[in-house]
Amino acid sequence: MYKYDIHVHTKESSLCGHMDAVEIVDQYFAGGYQGIAITDHFNEDNFRVLPEYKKDWKACVDHFLCGYRKASARAGELGMDAILGIEHRSPGNAQDTLIFGVDEEFLYEHEYFYEYGIDELFGLFGDDMTFVAAHPFRIVNGSGLLYKAIPQYLHGIEVINANARHTNNYELLLDFCGEYPELIRIVGSDTHRPADICQVYMGFNDRVADAAELRIALHKKEYILGYPAKPEIARMFA
């Protein structure tokens, strides 16, 4: 079995990240993982702090890709896989969406596409990319309101988000999965800090060296969900 964590953030490219890309890769390597997906935040808040914001999109993308590129270089040295993904959120929306299938060329060519709503993105690119609701049914900070996953614009849902600083509403997730059994189910550590490393994994029979191979394996549902600290929760969504 090949272990992957497909929800990971770097401090180079995510404002809330606390670990540099090389350190992250090294720790996942030590934990016995074959690879990780770098899914840095792709939203207006993450870009507006840059001097290049609204002036130089290429510079914005260069910044966004910095963590992934460093992770990819280090992973290559270790024989691991580093996969490019994004965690997209459009302005005025609380729900984040993990998107796999975006490549570097696409990012450069589609200026400010974080401004697109998830309905627009799914309509335009839903056949070529995989859309997964990140940590759905999480309480929005300070509001008491829940994130809301919209199934018609999704291929999948993150059923376990192992970030200890947030709460998963597993009862709501189970109900949602029962209502939409066709959706892909994934798990992610949502790594930002050292304590988040290697909390959960996707277990594949074969290596998934890039986003294309990851997408194929996800849509075929050829994987297991691993949560070593809480295996009973992983079994709930198996």
What mean pLDDT value characterizes the chain? 94
Q: Which of 45-59, 74-88, 141-155, 214-228 has the lowest mean pLDDT?
A: 141-155
Percentages of the chain per state (helix, strand, coil), in multiples of 5? 35, 20, 40
What residue has token string 């994004």? 86
Domains (ranges, CATH) in the chain? Answer: 2-236 (3.20.20.140)
Compare 131 and 93 and report the one with higher pLDDT: 131
CB atoms within 10 A of CB 206: 12
Inter-residue long-range contacts of 121-128, CB under 8 Å, 24+ positions, other chains counted:
121/88, 121/153, 122/152, 122/153, 122/154, 125/101, 126/153, 126/155, 128/101
Coil, strand or helix at 77: helix
pLDDT range class, residue 92, cuts 50, 70, 90: confident
What residue has token string 């690879």? 35
Q: What are the tokens at 127?
A: 């056949």
What pLDDT sits at residue 142? Answer: 59
What residue has token string 């900070």? 141
Q: Which of 38-42, 130-134, 140-144, 188-192 has the lowest mean pLDDT?
A: 140-144
Tell me which DSSP letter residue 152 carries.
Answer: G
What pLDDT sits at residue 148? Answer: 74
pLDDT range class, residue 168, cuts 50, 70, 90: confident
* Distance (Å, whole) CA 200 – CA 49: 31
pLDDT range class, residue 141, cuts 50, 70, 90: low
| Residue % of the chain over a pLDDT of 70 | 97
**226 with 202: CB under 8 angstroms?**
yes
Using only C-alpha atoms, what is the Rg of the chain? 16
pTM of the model: 0.96
| Residue % of the chain over a pLDDT of 90 | 87
**Mean pLDDT value across residues 216-221:** 97
Is residue 35 predicted with pLDDT exceeding 90? yes
What pLDDT sits at residue 164? Answer: 87
**Mean pLDDT value across residues 32-38:** 98
